[in-house]
Structure 1
Amino acid sequence: MPSVFRIGVPALLLMLSVFLTGCQSTYYSAMEKVGIHKRDIMVDRIESSQAAQEDAQEQFSSALEQFRSVVNFNGGDLEALYDQLNSEYENSVTSAEEVRGRIQGVKDVSEALFEEWEDELELYSSASLRRSSQQKLNDTRRQYKRMLTSMEQSEKRMQPVLDAFQDQVLYLKHNLNARAISALKGEFGSIKSDIDRLLHDMQRSIDESRKFVATLKQQ
């Protein structure tokens, strides 16, 4: 019986990919049997990604306000302040992971939907209907790519913000004194700017996804 080491990591990854793809296909087939099609699942997942991004906006805003409290520290329990900041950082990491997961879910079902749509073009006997469906597919793909690009741009902005935030948390953890607070003050402006940009990009992504969902529902 082959061991994990004999199979090799690339082969294992391929096997995992095939397994997950099979699970997704089974899931989509089961949902279609009860009248829920890939388009319905796509809309639901896009709306879930909107909700996740809105939650992340609130969380990153909350984290920024906590960081503001740290740099404005004027006496009191500095360790408690650190604990609050660390909690905000951990919550922000969780929110970011949720957004990433939701976006991946959108990508998975969208790929399946477009592949199915493409395959079914060959089933038309009417050339005019085939051309019309092909045009709708092209338009939908183009709008989807615009939405996905916006989603992925906002997603990529999260990690640099989290990295900078983690730096502040770690620094404060090992330097619970007024000098550390003074050092962090110099970083606040940069972090605020990064978070403001992130929130703006997230809102743009949310707006693009709403437009796309509205288009899908009209089809």
Structure 2
Amino acid sequence: MKAKQLVIPVLSALVMFTLLFTAGCRSVYNATMENVFGYEKRELFKKSVTALQSEQKDAQKEFKDALTRLKELYGFQGGELESVYGKVKSSYDRCDSEAKAVHTRVGNMEDLAKSMFNEWEKEIQQYTNPSLAAASREQLRLTKDRYAQLSRTVRDAEATMQPVLGQLKDNVLFLKHNLNASAIGSLQGEATNIQKQIEELLTRMNASIAESDKFIQSLPK
């Protein structure tokens, strides 16, 4: 009987998490973590920034790999073209997947930031000591300013992903439709442009990762 009593709550918890994740409902998940498991909004927000930073590093790694694959493609001197195409296609697919993951992380961070700032503003009204209220209000202002800078940098890096993905997809499709050496020659004309775009993206992602790290360090421990 005791075993059944233990199993039911565990199964219920598993079902709840499955529903939350399959529905893709960030707000419900965040509320559950806060209300059921006792996480503070500030803690959840900090975790979301850290998770985004980690996701950006993964995406950066995949775009670097894509750049390597493209250089191999443009330097193709003969051999198994099908194999080269397969590598470029796989690299594009991974980049696309990572870009979507970054987009999801950015949305989660923004949801939590809005929720945290709203709660902070309401709680300032509960102070009875004017000096403490003023200090908290100033801390809120500074945190908002730092977050605004982080958000701009993150969004800037995210937006730069889309043109790069478009160029990568064009290369993949053109190769798919023209698996011959002359197709490589046609793509080489675009080589400088797409390589420049990827390098710019990597630079922006570096800036975003650094900004995330600076913001995390600025949060109260």
- Give 2:94's aligned residue: 91
- Give 1:205's aligned residue: 208
| Cα distance change, pair 152–181 in 1 and its aligned pair in 2 (3 A) | same
Q: For 1:55-75, what per-residue CA distance to the aligned partner results, in whole angstroms no more than 9, with x for missing partners?
A: 111100101110111111111
- Give 1:125's aligned residue: 128
- Is the counterpart of residue 27 in structure 1 residue 30 in structure 2? no
Amino acid at match of 2:113: S
- Give 1:155's aligned residue: 158
- Give 1:67's aligned residue: 70
CA contact (8 A) 2:26 2:108 kept: no
CA contact (8 A) 2:157 2:204 kept: yes
Moved over 6 A (4+): none
After superposition, residues 142-181 of structure 1 pair within 5 angstroms as 142-181=145-184
CA contact (8 A) 1:31 1:37 kept: no
| Cα distance change, pair 162–48 in 1 and its aligned pair in 2 (3 A) | same
Amino acid at match of 1:95: E
Aligned length: 199
Amino acid at match of 1:205: S
Deviation of residue 28 (structure 1)? Answer: 1.9
Could you tell me how far apart the structure 1 residues matched to 2:201 and 2:26 are? 32
Deviation of residue 24 (structure 1)? Answer: 3.4
Deviation of residue 103 (structure 1)? Answer: 1.2
TM-score by length of 2: 0.86
TM-score by length of 1: 0.86
Amino acid at match of 2:173: L
Identify the match of residue 48 of structure 1 among 51, 55, 63: 51
Could you tell me how far apart the structure 2 residues matched to 1:189 and 1:110 are? 39
Please, which moves more after superposition, 159-168 or 94-103?
94-103
Amino acid at match of 1:200: T
Name the SS of the counterpart of 2:190 in structure 1.
Answer: helix
Identify the match of residue 191 of structure 2 among 164, 188, 201: 188
CA contact (8 A) 2:157 2:201 kept: yes
CA contact (8 A) 2:89 2:172 kept: yes
Deviation of residue 23 (structure 1)? Answer: 5.1
Name the SS of the counterpart of 1:31 in structure 2.
Answer: coil
Long gaps (5+) in structure 2: 1-22
Name the SS of the counterpart of 1:123 in structure 2.
Answer: coil
Could you tell me how far apart the structure 1 residues matched to 2:87 and 2:190 are? 18
CA contact (8 A) 1:52 1:99 kept: yes
Could you tell me how far apart the structure 2 residues matched to 1:108 and 1:128 are? 30
Aligned-CA RMSD value: 1.7
Deviation of residue 123 (structure 1)? Answer: 0.6
Name the SS of the counterpart of 1:217 in structure 2.
Answer: coil
Could you tell me how far apart the structure 2 residues matched to 1:144 and 1:101 are? 18
Long gaps (5+) in structure 1: 1-15
